[in-house]
Amino acid sequence: MGKNLTKRSEDYSKWYNELVVKADLAENSAVRGCMVIKPYGFAIWEKMQAELDRMFKETGHQNAYFPLFVPKSLFEAEEKNAEGFAKECAVVTHYRLKTDPDNEGKLIVDPEAKLQEELVVRPTSEAIIWNTYKGWIQSYRDLPLLINQWANVVRWEMRTRLFLRTAEFLWQEGHTAHATKEEAVAEADLMNNVYATFVENFLAVPVIKGLKTESERFAGADETFCIEALMQDGKALQAGTSHFLGQNFAKAFDVKFATKEGKQEHVWATSWGVSTRLMGALIMTHSDDQGLVLPPNLAPYQVVIVPIYRNQEQLDAISQVANEIVNDLRLHNVTVKFDDRDTHKPGWKFNEYELKGVPLRIGIGPKDLEKRTVELARRDTLTKEFVAKEDVVDTVVQLLKDIQENLYNKAKAYRDTHITEVQNFDEFKDILESKGGFISAHWDGTAETENKIKELTKATIRCIPLDNPKEDGSCVYSGAPSTQRVLFAKAY
Amino acid sequence: MGKNLTKRSEDYSKWYNELVVKADLAENSAVRGCMVIKPYGFAIWEKMQAELDRMFKETGHQNAYFPLFVPKSLFEAEEKNAEGFAKECAVVTHYRLKTDPDNEGKLIVDPEAKLQEELVVRPTSEAIIWNTYKGWIQSYRDLPLLINQWANVVRWEMRTRLFLRTAEFLWQEGHTAHATKEEAVAEADLMNNVYATFVENFLAVPVIKGLKTESERFAGADETFCIEALMQDGKALQAGTSHFLGQNFAKAFDVKFATKEGKQEHVWATSWGVSTRLMGALIMTHSDDQGLVLPPNLAPYQVVIVPIYRNQEQLDAISQVANEIVNDLRLHNVTVKFDDRDTHKPGWKFNEYELKGVPLRIGIGPKDLEKRTVELARRDTLTKEFVAKEDVVDTVVQLLKDIQENLYNKAKAYRDTHITEVQNFDEFKDILESKGGFISAHWDGTAETENKIKELTKATIRCIPLDNPKEDGSCVYSGAPSTQRVLFAKAY
């Protein structure tokens, strides 16, 4: 019984596309570039949301909701931001359809219902939010303003891939306002750390915290903090970004506050976001040729119990044991599903839950009843063991911890062995093609060199790591003096 | 210290508009008809979401996510549905902006980036979802399909009001598929009951469960179940609807399944939704001339503690007691805020929390410390009492239950005394103008009479109550024979 899944070594990209669909995570829709997130995929996203939301609130943020649409005149107020997103904006121009006079039953846009001002479907919400903040901020007493929004956004990408790059995606965007530059920088750094903690502890994906170069920054930001992860094919993936926006939006929207001393000053801003793209990082980091591998902290159900039986009598006896285990596990906050459907055979179910990445599978057959044991199978190592019934709960609780750790450690080992220091451009190109991963190299700090390297190799500067040691050297491309290495990679 | 809030008796509509803004629930945005939901308002919506989501999952539903956009050709597939929503659709026609060649720094729609097919911003998602379900349903084994989505939708309303009628609003929409008509009808009825239970137990708003007449049905439905509430100004508000869609969408999108016997049949459908409109119902049902009144089950914080002090020493002593109470209350799952800000005076805070409808306020001053008491003020009755410190937790827990019940009972008493049976059209018009509320009257069952009454009085048939007794009579307008009374009202 096969899963008909392309092997990673054959075609990593095809493997990913197939896996997302076969594991019931998402699929392409009738709308170009927009995806349908299926219940199993959405359940994982809900778990991400719940934990992130808890972390945001714990750090003093509140949720709110701002309009989907941005009037063109507001959209263009912050020039760099507008320039950055104008090329990929869905634009609403009309507010009504009418029956086609030439073709009854068909609808056409009603030319009489043209909007006076076009509306941009938000690609990000700085413009509409800062226009709103103008009314909310008068005095230092109104600061800091710490707000987050869970929303859908639209960026008309030409080449789309499920979760990784879609025209519409789900995300959260934090937007904060502060009295001082120092506070705003600290907030941007704090939220980047929140993302790093979340991604490492929940997705079990190790990340490198760093700063973007000027050309890779968010349009409208003075500084972009980021977390960068490495996928199994040696390509990097930006898993989250947090921006120090300076006073750019405050100036564009004239948002000032009275200081304690009564002076009028522009406020300082940050914004930060993670999206359904994290689903892509999760899938690509851990999964294998058998299908999805989910870390227990995000699995919709952590354990599945499959009964193996020939007749109703056997099923009844197995169900009794299974239900005891279900109850015990739930008391220990383990999420568990007992799949006693008679429409599918045990072999089919084993296959299905392997494909869907359920961390632990418990099989119970007539022989197990006799011996008072169950068969416990780990998805991450594909190993099995028999466990005495009375030890099941303790074993499961321990194994779920072990699996979460093992996935992280495995991904970290891969990542750590795929950061290669190079001394010259030949080595650079050689490593990039033969091994991939992050390439740690000296860079002269100019956008010109950065662009040239990108043009020649498709590798971009993923980040300047925050914990970078200072080291004298010369640029891998231009030979000009440099004081630190930066991380290059091909990226999603 | 006043709240400058218009009195309900002076101008109910103005009172509502002011209250929503002053209590920090929502405000109008720069986008025509779209609102900003502020953190305090959003916190209430989050509590509604959490409970509804729990109830949906308990009844076997899973969440998923479908695209924001609906291609025009899919949108028009189910004719009645399309006709119903075509008049108020936001339409995306282009996917790019470019710099205005005549006006640098300004953006214009790029005429070269015109979409081949226009995209409708979803006013509701039946079309895009049923187009997707076609791929998900092959056999009876795939049924029932029980899915819910939390999303934003857009209906280009001409006259908008915060929460009650906005161009963009937040909602959930359930979309289910079933093998038989009976199952689908039972599902529609079940979800209407879930809504009724939720609205009565959490919003403390009594509702009447009923069926819509054909002309008030959802476009594309064979039957619409609804819950109707009554506001303090005697106008009705539809708080939720649940539709039996027959096989209309299955036929429009050709969704068939193989029965156990191997026959191919179209599936049966339901859809059901509640929206941020519930916020309007909540506000208008309970609030008074002093501001918002929130039921404890939905209040962002149920208790606020305000210290009354002249110097730091007093504040320190009060804080100690206050923090003990905070901890005790939290152990009893009471949400509580201790407002020890020194930027605002106690009187200002009392006023603020009254305006924001916090169910219980605890005041602690130096005299309370001496007597080991606190002052406890109820928002719903505006009454105060002194309570011994050791009794605070028990008293608070009991009072929160009492307040929740009291709000419901008060609203129900008002509603029950505002259902008036009338025998003729003069009485109908007289009651409608003098007293308002629901008018229970015989109706001949024709759309003609229904429309005529609407034209003459602005009253519509809110519903045919589900528990209606059969009773012979004659139509209040046409005099034609009738077998039951229906409920008329002016409505939001």
What does DSSP assign to residue B203? I
Listed in order, strand segments (DSSP E) in B122-267 are: 145-154, 168-178, 208-211, 223-230, 236-246, 256-258, 264-266
Return the amino acid letter for B31. Answer: V
CA distance A187 to chain B (A): 19
Decide if A91 and B95 are in contact by the 8 Å CB cutoff.
Answer: yes
Selecting from A38, A71, A107 the residue whose C-beta is nearest the C-beta of B82 gives A107
CA distance A372 to chain B (A): 33
Report the mean per-residue pLDDT for chain A. 97
Mutate which: A92, A149, A160, A162, vs B, most B CBs within 10 A: A92
Decide if B30 and A71 are in contact by the 8 Å CB cutoff.
Answer: yes
Sheet holding B373-378, edge to edge: B336-338, B303-307, B360-364, B373-378, B384-388
For residue A344, give both structure tokens.
Answer: 């599918």
Q: How far apart are CA A350 and CA A341, in angstroms?
A: 13
Asked if pLDDT for residue A235 goes beyond 80, the answer is yes
Decide if B156 and A95 are in contact by the 8 Å CB cutoff.
Answer: yes
SS3 content of chain A, % helix, strand, coil (to 5): 35, 30, 35
Q: Report the chain A residue with the minimal C-alpha distance to residue B146.
A: A39
Q: Report the chain A residue with the minimal C-alpha distance to residue B46.
A: A63
Residue B76: list chain A partners with CB under 8 A. 105-107
CA distance B393 to chain A (A): 25
CA distance B82 to chain A (A): 9
Mutate which: B49, B91, B344, vs A, most A CBs within 10 A: B91
Decide if B91 and A88 are in contact by the 8 Å CB cutoff.
Answer: no
CA distance B112 to chain A (A): 12
Selecting from A118, A168, A343 the residue whose C-beta is nearest the C-beta of B67 gives A168
Decide if B87 and A96 are in contact by the 8 Å CB cutoff.
Answer: yes
Of B66, B198, B9, B45, give the one whose Cα is nearest residue A64: B45
Decide if B147 and A120 are in contact by the 8 Å CB cutoff.
Answer: no
Asked if pLDDT for residue A4 goes beyond 90, the answer is no
Q: How far apart are CA B187 and CA B242, in angstroms?
A: 9
Selecting from A31, A42, A68 the residue whose C-beta is nearest the C-beta of B119 gives A31
Selecting from A29, A106, A168 the residue whose C-beta is nearest the C-beta of B132 gives A29
Q: Which residue has the tokens 């959802």?
A: B218
| A486 beta partners | A441
Q: Give pLDDT, residue B226.
A: 98
Decide if B96 and A119 are in contact by the 8 Å CB cutoff.
Answer: no
Asked if pLDDT for residue A3 goes beyond 80, the answer is no
Q: How far apart are CA B402 and CA B128, in angstroms?
A: 45
Q: Which residues contact B443 (CB under 8 A, 6 or more apart)?
A: B449, B450, B461, B475, B476, B477, B482, B485, B486
Residue A168: list chain B partners with CB under 8 A. 67-69
Residue A71: list chain B partners with CB under 8 A. 30-31
Residue B75: list chain A partners with CB under 8 A. 97, 107
Decide if B151 and A152 are in contact by the 8 Å CB cutoff.
Answer: yes
Residue B70: list chain A partners with CB under 8 A. 31
CA distance B439 to chain A (A): 35
Decide if A97 and B74 are in contact by the 8 Å CB cutoff.
Answer: no
Decide if A36 and B156 are in contact by the 8 Å CB cutoff.
Answer: no
Selecting from A79, A89, A95 the residue whose C-beta is nearest the C-beta of B95 gives A89
Decide if A36 and B62 are in contact by the 8 Å CB cutoff.
Answer: no
Q: A242: part of which helix (H) or strand (E)?
A: strand A236-246
Selecting from A42, A67, A74 the residue whose C-beta is nearest the C-beta of B63 gives A42
Q: Give pLDDT, residue A2.
A: 61
Return the amino acid letter for A368. Answer: D
Residue B109: list chain A partners with CB under 8 A. 91, 93, 118
Mutate which: B38, B65, B168, vs A, most A CBs within 10 A: B65
Q: Which residues contact A162 (CB under 8 A, 6 or more apart)?
A: A17, A20, A21, A25, A26, A27, A28, A35, A280
Asked if pLDDT for residue A1 goes beyond 60, the answer is no
Share of chain A above pLDDT 70, in %: 100
Mutate which: A57, A91, A96, vs B, most B CBs within 10 A: A91
Decide if A82 and B107 are in contact by the 8 Å CB cutoff.
Answer: yes
CA distance B471 to chain A (A): 42
Decide if B107 and A170 are in contact by the 8 Å CB cutoff.
Answer: no
Q: Which residues contact B206 (CB under 8 A, 6 or more apart)?
A: B200, B229, B230, B408, B411, B412, B415
Decide if B68 and A168 are in contact by the 8 Å CB cutoff.
Answer: yes
SS3 content of chain B, % helix, strand, coil (to 5): 40, 30, 35
Q: Alpha helix locations (H) across A23-59? A: 39-58
CA distance B280 to chain A (A): 16
- Evaluate whether A374 touches A389 at the Cβ level (below 8 Å): yes
Cα–Cα distances (Å) from B384 to B318, B375, B380, B399, in that order, read 19, 7, 11, 12
- Evaluate whether A91 touches A109 at the Cβ level (below 8 Å): no
**Tell me: the pLDDT tens digits for A305-362?**
999 999 999 999 999 999 999 999 999 999 999 999 998 999 999 999 999 999 999 9
Residue A34: list chain B partners with CB under 8 A. 67-69
A465 preceded by a cis bond (ω within 30 of 0) = no
Confidence of residue A491 (pLDDT cuts 50, 70, 90): very high
Q: How many Cβ contacts (< 8 angstroms) between chains A and B?
A: 192
Decide if A42 and B64 are in contact by the 8 Å CB cutoff.
Answer: yes
- Evaluate whether B155 touches B278 at the Cβ level (below 8 Å): no
Helices B39-58 + B181-198 axis angle, to 10: 140
Q: Which residues contact A370 (CB under 8 A, 6 or more apart)?
A: none
Selecting from A39, A91, A107 the residue whose C-beta is nearest the C-beta of B147 gives A39
Mutate which: A95, A112, A117, A159, vs B, most B CBs within 10 A: A95
Q: Report the chain B residue with the minimal C-alpha distance to residue A111.
A: B91
Listed in order, strand segments (DSSP E) in B104-161 are: 107-109, 114-121, 145-154
Asked if pLDDT for residue A105 goes beyond 90, the answer is no
Instruction: Give first-to-last CA distance, chain A, whole Å.
Output: 33
Handedness of CA B466, B469, B475, B481 (dihedral sign): positive
Decide if B90 and A89 are in contact by the 8 Å CB cutoff.
Answer: no
Give this complex's ipTM: 0.97
Selecting from A75, A107, A135 the residue whose C-beta is nearest the C-beta of B72 gives A107
How many other β-carbons are positioned within 10 Å of the β-carbon of residue B368? 20
Selecting from B105, B152, B156 the residue whose C-beta is nearest the C-beta of A152 gives B152
For residue A200, give both structure tokens.
Answer: 């490492």
Selecting from A67, A99, A154 the residue whose C-beta is nearest the C-beta of B29 gives A67
Selecting from A132, A135, A154 the residue whose C-beta is nearest the C-beta of B68 gives A154
Of A174, A119, A218, A266, give the one whose Cα is nearest residue B29: A119
Q: How far apart are CA A239 and CA B277, in angstroms?
A: 36
Selecting from A66, A79, A97 the residue whose C-beta is nearest the C-beta of B91 gives A97
How many other β-carbons are positioned within 10 Å of the β-carbon of residue B417? 10
| B197 beta partners | none
Domains of chain A plus CATH, in order, are 12-286 (3.30.930.10), 303-399 (3.40.50.800), 419-489 (3.30.110.30)
Q: Report the chain A residue with the minimal C-alpha distance to residue B115.
A: A90
Q: How far apart are CA A402 and CA A391, in angstroms?
A: 16
Q: Give pLDDT, residue B2.
A: 60
Flag residues of chain B having pLDDT under 50: 1
